[in-house]
Amino acid sequence: MQLAHVGQWLQLGGPVMVILLLMSIGALTLILLKTWQFTERRVGARDYLPQFFDATARGHWQVAHQALEGRPGPLPAVLRLAVLARRDRSVSEADAREQVAAFAADQIEQQRSLFRPLEVIATLAPLLGLLGTVMGMIEAFQRLQAAGDRVDPAILSGGIWEALLTTAAGLIVAIPVIAVLNTLERKVERLHRDTESALTRVFTRPIGAGGATREPAPAAQVGDLPPSDVMP
């Protein structure tokens, strides 16, 4: 698309078109930022879970912790804390569950950051486009009224298509934002489900493992490990 055409559309659409252009730039920036964040944190990675669950089912907490080493992201961070809580006999199981659940909730909420601005853009863009169309239609009918007996159909038709530009622009901004936002929300929902399922398997004894015993607690406690071993 040529810059001259963009400038012409901005002139025809007026202030509403300029606002929609700024909103589209902001939405694109937020989408790129969230995509990079999810990729950097490997939010969708699950390849380490079979080894981790096998170790936890056998009560080998040291092996389970090793399976999470070097894994970025919110789910490995939550599981590392859960393993440390299970190995720390000074913390009751109820307290461990509550602390890990609170940490998991914070991690999941962090993944939802910047969702709200995208929701606002997706909601307001069509409404602003419709507002621009209504204002353009009002202007077109005013010109038609001013023409009096010398009514030219081109006046009305030209005003209508110019007014509809803002509606089209609003939909062009909103539709991709809604699609991307739904994709990101599904990733967070899956992370939420996987986190709940994983914590359930960590804090409950597997079926058929009635004779399994917990690994003796090592000398190191939860507070002895550096924050990097818990946080992503």
Residues of the chain with pLDDT under 50: 1-4, 210-232
> What would the DSSP string read from start to end of 174-224?
HHHHHHHHHHHHHHHHHHHHHHHHHHHHHHSPPTT-TT--PPPP-S--GGG
pLDDT reported for residue 176: 95
C-beta separation of 53 from 47 below 8 A: no
Structure tokens at 95: 């307290």
Contacts of 174 (CB under 8 A, 6+ apart): 121, 122, 123, 125, 126
Contacts of 201 (CB under 8 A, 6+ apart): 53, 56, 57
Tell me how far apart the alpha carbons of residues 51 and 83 are, in angstroms, rounded to a whole number. 14
pLDDT reported for residue 214: 46
pLDDT reported for residue 10: 58
pLDDT reported for residue 222: 39
pLDDT reported for residue 5: 56
C-beta separation of 27 from 177 below 8 A: yes
C-beta separation of 81 from 230 below 8 A: yes
Structure tokens at 102: 């609170």
Structure tokens at 28: 């694109």
pLDDT reported for residue 77: 92
Tell me how far apart the alpha carbons of residues 208 and 210 are, in angstroms, rounded to a whole number. 6
pLDDT reported for residue 43: 87
Tell me how far apart the alpha carbons of residues 216 and 86 are, in angstroms, rounded to a whole number. 10
pLDDT reported for residue 231: 43
Amino acid, res. 129: G
Tell me how far apart the alpha carbons of residues 107 and 70 are, in angstroms, rounded to a whole number. 17
Tell me how far apart the alpha carbons of residues 56 and 98 are, in angstroms, rounded to a whole number. 19
Q: What is the pLDDT of residues 59-72, one digit of tens each?
A: 888 888 888 888 89
Q: What is the pLDDT of residues 89-122, one digit of tens each?
A: 777 878 888 889 999 999 999 999 999 999 999 9
pLDDT reported for residue 213: 44
Structure tokens at 86: 């299970």
CA-only gyration radius of the chain, Å: 28
C-beta separation of 129 from 20 below 8 A: yes
Tell me how far apart the alpha carbons of residues 194 and 152 are, in angstroms, rounded to a whole number. 65
pLDDT reported for residue 177: 96
C-beta separation of 38 from 184 below 8 A: yes
Nearest to residue 39, comparing CAs of 184, 222, 159, 199? 184
Tell me how far apart the alpha carbons of residues 177 and 55 are, in angstroms, rounded to a whole number. 41
